[in-house]
Amino acid sequence: MVSLITKLKTERQRRIARAQDIIVKTVFEVFSNNVVLHGGTSIWRCYNGNRFSEDIDVYIPRNLHKIETFFQLLEKRGLVIERKKISENNLFSTLKFERTEVRFEAIFKKMSGILKEYQTFEGNLEAIYTLPQEELIKEKISAYLNRFIIRDLYDVFFLLRYVQNASSILPFLKKLIDNFDNPKDESNLGALILSGITPKSTEMIEYIKDRIKNG
């Protein structure tokens, strides 16, 4: 397994990756089996993704005592809590690690995850819970149609390689095609791709159409 150190392009990306490892380790330490990692970082770390992702997104139960313990441990481990907002349904926070910002967001919802290996910055593998690729694709399609950001489309394109039988997600893929509009920020994708070429949105859409046709 190649260490992430060799793939990341900038010192800022390396600092964010180290902060993410601390956050992920801590949230699973506090909430144990009741955490499910999702979003772009789960794709990057658990599905050998090729796109850098900044934010940590999880599903956890709404337990205020454990949430406070979680943030106290983060502070002891070198992170600074810049902003923290807890509502009835979710949590949003902005943290700093070595002067670099990273966001942690949680939805208070019980989700069934699958066991996957999370690759750390140093290249170690740690067992955690994340969503199956089909569920991540559904989330990413919803996100793309809501904000038309290129990274969401790329994540759908990338994850489809792990789907053997696309029948369960065909309605979602068709919805994406039927409601597709060009991304607002296509030029931003190149800075996030860690290796290889940067596909165009038109190329990714054609790939998705082929998967709809061929299953």
Domain boundaries, the chain: 4-131, 134-214
Among 106, 56, 63, 53, which residue's Cα sits nearest to residue 79? 56
Total residue length of the chain: 215
What pLDDT digit, counting tens, does each position of 144-167 carry? 999 999 999 999 999 999 998 889
Query: How far is residue 50's CA from residue 155's CA, in Å, rounded to a whole number?
Result: 9
Domain 4-131: CATH architecture, name and number where available: 2-Layer Sandwich (3.30)
Element (H, E) at 71: helix 64-76
Task: For residue 132, give the nearest of 21, 43, 27 by alpha carbon.
Answer: 43
Q: What is the pLDDT of residues 14-37, one digit of tens each?
A: 999 999 999 999 999 999 999 999
Tens of pLDDT along 52-109?
Answer: 999 999 999 999 999 999 999 999 999 999 999 999 999 999 999 999 999 999 999 9
For the entire predicted model, the pTM comes to 0.94
Yes or no: say if 56 and 41 are a contact pair by the CB < 8 Å rule.
yes
Question: Who contacts 15 (Cβ-Cβ below 8 Å, separation ≥6)?
Answer: 97, 98, 100
CA distance linking residue 149 with residue 183, whole number of Å? 5
Nearest Cα neighbor of 39 from 127, 126, 111 is 111
Percent of the residues in the chain that have a pLDDT greater than 90, as a whole number: 91
